[in-house]
Amino acid sequence: MHTHPNARLTALGREWLVRRHIDEHVPLAELACHAGISLRTAYKWLARFRSGGPAALVDRRSVRRNQRRTLDPQQQQQATALRHERCTMRRIAKALAAPLSTTGRWLKSMGLGRLKNLQPKEPVRRYQWAQPGDMIHVDTKQLARFERVGHRITGDRRLGCSPGAG
């Protein structure tokens, strides 16, 4: 058995604590204080011992006691058909008599979690020409011509405006 490195007592120590309480009638609070554990933990081990004997005092695994539900193939087909009819996840879960979280997780895994994913995307439109350089696009800009330098450069607005040269 692998014991947690910070565990106060092993399964044998827990059994010793519980048996001393039951056989010798030592108060559980005193035993818990001596062992360096909380009174609540001592009562938890006492309840385990009474329900299952010494075998119940062994460390338990920390995995989930109940596993996630899944949809059977018939429910999966029904959920897919309802989703393509643009039904909400709540409505689908109610129709399947399955939990909303299970239905939502399965629809998301199938790529049907969002309504916008139900319609296929538009293909990208590309311009393809026979030879390179057939499609040339040039932007041109016509710059104004001035006869003299303006106030932004000279800093003097009193010189008057400069009529454009055309």
144-153 pLDDT per residue, tens: 777 777 778 8
How buried is 6 (Cβ within 10 angstroms: 0-12 exposed, 13-18 middle, 19+ buried)? exposed
Q: How sure is the predictor about 45, in pLDDT bands with cuts at 50, 70 and 90?
A: very high
d(CA 113, CA 108): 4
Using 50, 70 and 90 to split pLDDT, how confident is the model at 28?
very high
Q: Quick one: which of 34, 56, 36, 35 has its CA closest to 46?
A: 56
- Tell whether the model's pLDDT for residue 2 goes beyond 70: no
> What confidence tier does 155 reach under pLDDT thresholds 50, 70, 90?
confident
Residue 119's identity, in one-letter code, is: Q
- Residue-level pLDDT at 125: 85
Q: Per DSSP, what are the bridge partners of residue 146?
A: 164
Q: Within 10 Å of residue 134's Cβ, how many Cβ atoms?
A: 9
Mean per-residue pLDDT of the chain: 86
**Do 118 and 94 meet the contact criterion of CB atoms below 8 Å apart?**
no
The pLDDT value recorded for residue 162 is 63
The predicted pLDDT at position 66 comes to 78
pTM exceeding the 0.75 threshold for the entire prediction: no
Residue 51 has pLDDT above 70, yes or no: yes
